[in-house]
Structure 1
Amino acid sequence: MSNESNDQARVKSLIDEAAARVGDKKALAKLLKYSPGNVYDWSKGTRACPVQAQALMADIAGLSAQEVACYVVIQQEKNPERKARLLEVLGKASRRMSAACWAATSVSAALVFSALTGMPRLHTMYIM
């Protein structure tokens, strides 16, 4: 399978998953602030789906919008040297973003647990 058909299958799958979560493709288009015709064209592969729309659909589908956006940016780069550098830079950013999100989620979970159980909040949090 070529990269283009692989990307088309990925975009179609992303559209289908996001549309299923919001009801249908028309509702997805409205939520994304694009026309239903655009969503239809992206699904059929007759029009390129913008990275912004892919990131928004990823979030709706419960996927990482950051990872999808980084992947699309890297895949769209045609220059091999720039592509390698983007992979290096965005890979680092993705790891930092994941660590920051994990830490924020852990702190939020501790605060929610504290509020629900009435137990005092921990002043020090150890991350292993």
Structure 2
Amino acid sequence: MVAKGVVRKELQWKHARTFFYFRLKRRLAEEYLLRDMAKTSPDMDREEQKAILQAWFEQSNSEAYDDDRALMRAWKAQVEAANVAANVAGATDDALLAALQQLSPERRKQLLPSSPSEKN
């Protein structure tokens, strides 16, 4: 079937469940994204929408677009980032400061750029 181009690669039976789990998750997530794109750009056909999704993924990831597991990790990270951004947008400065203070010093250093006084 690989030689005929029907499938991309052979699948070992012991990995079949994991493979199809991530394939289904990816296809469902992709379908939801394509539906949302169709609502915002009804004049765009499905192939154009898929090309845009692939371009978005490839710009932000070094992994192959055909890797279902990598794609789901990337999309999950984007959803989490959007949720955090939505929560942060409505938070008060005091709430943001309290949240930052709950982080470990190492994590705060990762997230916050050093101030000019610390560089001297």
Q: TM-score, normalised by structure 2?
A: 0.35
Higher normalized contact order (CA 8 Å, seq sep 6+, divided by chain length): 2
Which entry has the higher C-alpha Rg, 1 or 2? 2
